[in-house]
Copies of this chain bind each other. A is one copy, B any other.
């Protein structure tokens, strides 16, 4: 059972003008972005630094950082917003706070592939969608190569097996003792170390959040509350709704209404 490590959320090709980002101001952007700029340019604030985006380059912009977009003239851009699907990659991308640049020239093999972003989203299991996923794996491999997570994080290395296990098994909500054993740690110690690496989360609240993100996607594609609860590992709609509220601060039915409106 292997996962494709990222989820491509939205994408397209656009010509942005001076109004780009004007209404948004500075905000915490929750997803990672890939911009491939064919003409013009713009400026993006990521964290505390402003970056110039220039035609002829591709940019990986990390998520979960304060950001602001500004365009003084115009920019023609292929773009995708994406989110890691695996805990391991999530951790890796969370640590990756810089902007990565590829000259488009170095990506020319991929030009017919990223041009497909004009038709995003492509049908599941279509050749085009496979090519787009292939492209993403290739770009991610560049990021990983540039900044291998092993280098400065002996703790992460020890947690790695447990993290990979949680990525696969979060729907089943494995007990703390099983997770800790994967990392070769005592349960309490594992719990503490996990909180150090993922501030704001415990192992179980992390897996719960992942289940609830799945639930949100299922609700958005028309599944009933009962079906969604079952598919995310809850035998009982009541417990499911309670978890959902805890994570999203609204009930599943409210969330569905908002999605459908």
Chain A residues engaging chain B, CB cutoff 8 angstroms = 1-5, 7, 85-86, 88-89, 92, 109, 124-128, 130-131, 133-135, 137-138, 140-142, 144-145, 148, 164, 169, 171-172, 174, 178, 214, 217, 227, 230-231
Known contacts: A125-B144, A137-B133, A144-B126. The answer to whether A85 contacts B214 by CB under 8 A is: no
Does the CB pair A178–B109 fall under 8 Å?
A: no
Stoichiometry, copies per complex = 2
Which secondary structure dominates chain A's binding surface?
helix
Does the CB pair B125–A134 fall under 8 Å?
A: no
Does the CB pair A130–B125 fall under 8 Å?
A: no
Residues of B within 8 A of A125 (CB): 5, 86, 88-89, 92, 144, 164
Known contacts: A2-B85, A144-B125. The answer to whether A231 contacts B172 by CB under 8 A is: yes
Does the CB pair A141–B128 fall under 8 Å?
A: yes
A170 to chain B, nearest CB (A): 10
Known contacts: A109-B109, A125-B144. The answer to whether A172 contacts B230 by CB under 8 A is: yes
CA distance in complex: A2, B89 (Å): 14
Interface centre among A92, A109, A230, A231, by most chain B C-beta atoms within 10 angstroms, is A231
A208 to chain B, nearest CB (A): 16
Residues of B within 8 A of A124 (CB): 164
A123 to chain B, nearest CB (A): 9
Known contacts: A85-B1, A164-B124. The answer to whether A141 contacts B145 by CB under 8 A is: no
